[in-house]
Amino acid sequence: MTAVEAHCQRAPATRKTRFCFLLLWSAALAAFPVAANERPGPQWQVGLAEFALAAGRAEEALVRIGETRGDAASWVRAQALLATGQVEAAKRRLEQQLTADSHRGDAALILGQMATQSGDDRGAREYFNTASRLGFGNTRQRALYELSMLDMADGKPDAAGQVLAGMEPGYWAALGYANLAAHFSKQDLNASRPLVALRVALAMSEQDVVSDRSNSLRSQLLVRAAYLSFQQEDYDKAIGFLEQVPLDSYYTPRALYLHGLSLDARDNYRGAMQSWHRAKKYPLAYPGVEDSWLGMGRGYDLSGYLGQAGEAYLAASASYESERATLRELASRIREEGAWKALVNDARGTNAQWFLADSRTLAQPRLAYLMRFMESGEAQRKVNRVAELVRLDKILASREQSLTVFRRSLSDLSSVPVATAVDEQQRLNARLEQLKARALEMQQRMAGASSSGAELKAVASMLAGVGRGLGSLETRLEGRTPHLSGLERRIDAALSRLQSLRGRAQQLRISAEQQLNDEAIAFVSRQDERMVLALDKAEQRIAHLYEYLALESIERGAQ
């Protein structure tokens, strides 16, 4: 145990804390000699920055990378600048990266995406061409995909097809062919070209190494292919596609509805009703579910069970009314609490067990509405803005709290008189001399015993280190007061900057939340209109059925 430790353990608690803190603080003022060849090299700093960036701490990555030079450092710096909103500085670094020895393709890809966002398609095409030429793996595939998207936007699907034909099978190729199919669907009356493109997309998606992403894309492609086949009245083909959609997919409700519709078209009402019955179990937020409720009535009607058909239409009508009440409640909560809390935060903050996560995701109405809402790119951007501001506010709040505590500790430290420390130093010096004498005595006594030699050497070295620390304590204590005052000023300035930044973050959050609220209210209103339309259809069917029954009854009476 060192003299400092021993003293810290003997002293009363409050005094002990203050004095130990004082010694620690004093130690901080000491210059620490470190051999230059033992310090980690620049590669170490790059490694630390890379990990900080991967862990989502871009601010730390920037500090770690500092002024480190080299291609790898420059690449990490560019990414960290981009993540911390310093877009122009990041752009300059990325441009420089294009002439470096590494990450040239990655830099070109990011520059291309930035050009696309700013509407500079020509510039974007040049960057994507560079990225496809210099990049490898995912970077190259993504660049080729972006080039095919630019061709499609220019109305050149054949050129896009040629680019896609040169791609490796996988996610980006699958996505490219899916978009090509969508483009053909808009142009062609016949579904054969879109269907061929979708079949290629399905084959490409099988090679995607990220299984969740691949499964989701595959389900979406299967439903699209089934819809096109259904439109072409090729019901067997549609059923074939739909039966490959997994039951835990986001696209399952609409797949079940289309499956019912295809069976119905082949006069298999019983089979159709089985599919619609399963689709009915999902929240009405999903496309196809409200029509499945109506489908049940239609199925009973066509099978000749008119009474049950009436009941099914009434049940559909009641479920739409109930959904409208849910939507009204959701809209009023969005107005009161904001969409961030009512729609985004509360929907995901349920306490379901992890093994129920899949069924929970599909079965909970509010989560279903959140997922539907997030299908739109504009909604994603608006939610992202609020999420980013919430994250920044959390960082600032946590920093403010720790700085406030640190500031308080400094005030406490300033109140400890230097004289106390000087007295303690004298006592510690005396104790150190005693320990040194004992160590020397033991060394002399045990001369020749090699087993204890190393330990005694370590004790002597430790005592020498403590001696050096205590020796310079007086000089360091002299600089304590001005140093503490300087530190207090720095912390006060930082606290003031923090508060100003928090104010700005809160102001921006109000604007971002207002935009999100408007988008969410419009979305809920559209969902309500959808329910009104479904309700209207159900009522018409009921009226039609009653009219038919009344006519039947009159006819029977006349006979």
Partner 1 sequence: MVAHPLIAFVLMLTAPLIAAAELDTEIDRLKADVAELASDLYELEEAFLHPADTQVAVFLTLARSDALTLDSIELSVNDTPVASHFYSERELRSLQQGGVQQLFIGNVPVGEHRLKAVLTARTANDRYVRREVAHRFQKEPGEFRIQLSVDARAPEYEPQIGFAEWK
Q: Which of 260, 258, 301, 263 is nearest to 277 (CA)?
A: 260
Candidates 85-93, 119-127, 285-293, 539-547; binding stretch for partner 1 (CB under 8 A): 85-93
Residues within window 2-61 making contact with partner 1, judged by CB under 8 A: 2, 4-5, 24-25, 27-28, 30, 32-35, 38-40, 43-44, 46-48, 50-51, 53-55, 58-60
Question: 54 or 357, CB closer to partner 1?
Answer: 54
* Binds partner 1 (CB under 8 A): choice among 100, 182, 416, 462: 462
Selected binder of partner 1 within 131, 175, 242, 389 (CB under 8 A): 389
Q: Which is nearer to partner 1, 272 or 389 (CB)?
A: 389
CB proximity list for 136: less than 8 A, separation 6 or greater: 105
> What single letter denotes the amino acid at residue 193?
R
Question: Per CB under 8 A, which region of 78-86, 285-293, 354-362, 421-429 contacts partner 1?
Answer: 78-86
Concatenated DSSP letters of 383-417: HHHHHHHHHHHHHHHHHHHHHHHHHHHHHHHHTS-
- Judged by CB under 8 A, the residue of 15, 69, 85, 540 near partner 1 is 85
Residue (of 171, 228, 152) closest to 196 by Cα position: 228
Q: How far apart are CA 483 and CA 485, in angstroms?
A: 5
Distance in Å, CB of 324 to partner 1, minimum: 29
* Residues 392, 141: Cα–Cα separation, whole Å: 33
Closest separation in Å from C-beta 32 to partner 1:
4
From the list 247-255, 432-440, 466-474, 535-543, the region that binds partner 1 by CB under 8 A is 466-474
CA atoms within 13 A on the CB side of 530: 16
Compare residues 28 and 550 and give the one whose CB is closer to partner 1.
28
Q: Of the ranges 82-90, 355-363, 417-425, 538-546, which one interacts with partner 1 (CB under 8 A)?
A: 82-90
Return the number of the residue (24 or 203) whose C-beta is nearest partner 1: 24
**For partner 1, which is the closer residue by CB, 93 or 382?**
382
Among the listed residues 15, 328, 457, 468, the single contact to partner 1 using CB under 8 A: 468
Give the separation between CA 296 and CA 271, rounded to whole angstroms: 11
| Residue number with CB closer to partner 1 (426 or 461) | 461
Quick one: 27 or 314, whose CB is closer to partner 1? 27
Binding-site member from 458, 532, 533, 549 for partner 1 (CB under 8 A): 458
Tell which positions 268-327 bind partner 1, by CB under 8 A.
Answer: none
Q: How far is CA 524 from CA 372, 471, 489, in A?
A: 10, 73, 51
Own/partner contacts of 399-405, CB < 8 Å, gap of 24 or more, are: 399/498, 400/495, 400/498, 400/499, 400/502, 403/491, 403/494, 403/495, 403/498, 404/495
- Nearest CA to 104 out of 78, 68, 86, 125 is that of 78
Per CB under 8 A, the segment of 197-205, 228-236, 439-447, 485-493 that binds partner 1 is 485-493
Instruction: Return the residues of window 321-360 that contact partner 1 according to CB under 8 A.
Output: 341
Tally the C-alpha atoms within 13 A of residue 275's C-alpha that lie toward its C-beta. Answer: 24
Nearest-approach distance from CB 441 to partner 1, in angstroms = 21
CA-CA-CA-CA torsion sign (418, 420, 426, 428): negative
Say whether 472 sits in a helix, a strand or coil. Answer: coil
Contact 324, 528 (CB under 8 A): yes
Chain position carrying tokens 């630390």: 48
Distance (Å, rounded) from C-alpha 42 to C-alpha 40? Answer: 7
490 or 544: whose CB is closer to partner 1?
Answer: 490
Query: Binder to partner 1 among 234, 388, 488, 539 (CB under 8 A)?
Result: 388
Q: Which of 439, 442, 491, 521 binds partner 1 (CB under 8 A)?
A: 491
Among 147, 198, 435, 466, binds partner 1 (CB under 8 A): 466
CB of 507 to partner 1, least distance (A): 5
Q: How far are the Cα atoms of 92, 124, 204, 252 from residue 171, in angstroms, in the given order?
A: 30, 21, 7, 21
Of 45 and 205, nearer to partner 1 (C-beta) is 45
Minimum gap (Å) between residue 497 Cβ and partner 1: 6
In this structure, which amino acid lies at residue 346? D
Please tell me the number of Cα atoms within 13 Å of 161 on its side-chain side. Answer: 15
Q: In three state form, how does the secondary structure of 149-168 look?
A: HHHHHCCCHHHHHHHHHCCC
Using CB under 8 A as the binding rule, whether residue 439 contacts partner 1 is answered as no
Q: Which is nearer to partner 1, 105 or 161 (CB)?
A: 105
The smaller minimum CB distance to partner 1, of residues 228 and 466, is found at 466
Q: How far is the CB of 381 from partner 1 (least distance, A)?
A: 8
Tokens representing residue 521 in the block? 């209210």
Size of the site for partner 1 (CB under 8 A): 76
Binding residues among 494-513 for partner 1 as defined by CB under 8 A: 494, 497-498, 501-512
Contacts of residues 118-125 at CB distance under 8 Å and 24 or more positions apart, as own/partner, are: 121/150, 121/153, 121/154, 124/150, 125/150
Shortest reach from residue 513's CB to partner 1, in Å: 9
| CA 447 centroid distance within chain | 66
Q: Closest Cα to residue 102, out of 123, 83, 78, 124?
A: 78
List binders of partner 1 among 513-552 (CB under 8 A): 514-515
What's the closest the beta carbon of residue 282 comes to partner 1, in angstroms?
31
Q: Which stretch binds partner 1 (CB under 8 A): 318-326, 435-443, 483-491, 534-542?
A: 483-491
Smallest gap, in angstroms, from Cβ of residue 119 to partner 1? Answer: 11
**Structure tokens that stand for 96 in this block:** 């420089």
C-beta of 182 vs 392, nearer to partner 1: 392
Query: Which of residues 16, 156, 193, 385 is near partner 1 by CB under 8 A?
Result: 385
Task: Give the footprint of partner 1 on residues 396-415 (CB under 8 A).
Answer: 396-397, 399, 403, 406
